[in-house]
Amino acid sequence: MSDRRLWVNFRLRFVECLRLFTRLRRSALALLLLLGFSTAGAHAQRDARVADFLGITRCERGEAVTLLRPDVRDSALLAEVEAHEQVHRRQAAEFPSCDAFLASITTARRIIDIELPAYCAQWRLAVARGADSAVTRREYAWRIAAQSGAMENRLSVVQRFEGECP
Ligand SMILES: [Zn+2]
What 3-state class would DSSP assign to 60? Answer: strand
| Ligand 1 centroid, distance to 5 Cα (angstroms) | 22
Spatial neighbors of 130 by CB under 8 A, at least 6 apart, are none
Listed residues: CB within 5 A of ion ligand 1: 17, 115, 118
HSE of 38, CA atoms in CB hemisphere, 13 A: 12
pLDDT digits (tens, 9 = 90+) for 141-165: 999 999 888 888 888 999 999 999 9
| Ligand 1 centroid, distance to 164 Cα (angstroms) | 16
Distance CA 101, CA 90 (A): 10
DSSP state of 31: H
Beta bridge partners of 121: none
Find how far residue 53's CA is from the centre of its chain. Answer: 9
Q: Do the beta carbons of residue 39 and residue 151 sit within 8 Å?
A: yes
Beta strands 63-68; 55-60: pairing state: antiparallel
**What per-residue confidence (pLDDT) applies to 69?**
83
Per-residue pLDDT of the chain (166 residues; tens, 9 = 90+): 344 443 433 334 443 454 344 333 333 433 333 333 333 333 344 444 434 557 888 899 989 999 888 887 888 888 999 999 999 999 999 999 999 999 999 999 999 999 999 999 999 999 999 999 999 999 999 999 998 888 888 889 999 999 999 9
| Ligand 1 centroid, distance to 79 Cα (angstroms) | 14
| Ligand 1 centroid, distance to 4 Cα (angstroms) | 23
Distance CA 41, CA 151 (A): 13
Q: Residue 64: what are its φ and ψ, rounded to 5°?
A: -80, 120
| Ligand 1 centroid, distance to 126 Cα (angstroms) | 15
| Ligand 1 centroid, distance to 142 Cα (angstroms) | 13
**What per-residue confidence (pLDDT) applies to 140?**
94
What 3-state class would DSSP assign to 71? Answer: coil
| Ligand 1 centroid, distance to 131 Cα (angstroms) | 19
**What per-residue confidence (pLDDT) applies to 53?**
57
| Ligand 1 centroid, distance to 87 Cα (angstroms) | 8
Helix (H) or strand (E) holding 63: strand 63-68
| Ligand 1 centroid, distance to 25 Cα (angstroms) | 18
Spatial neighbors of 27 by CB under 8 A, at least 6 apart, are none
Helix (H) or strand (E) holding 55: strand 55-60
Beta bridge partners of 63: 60
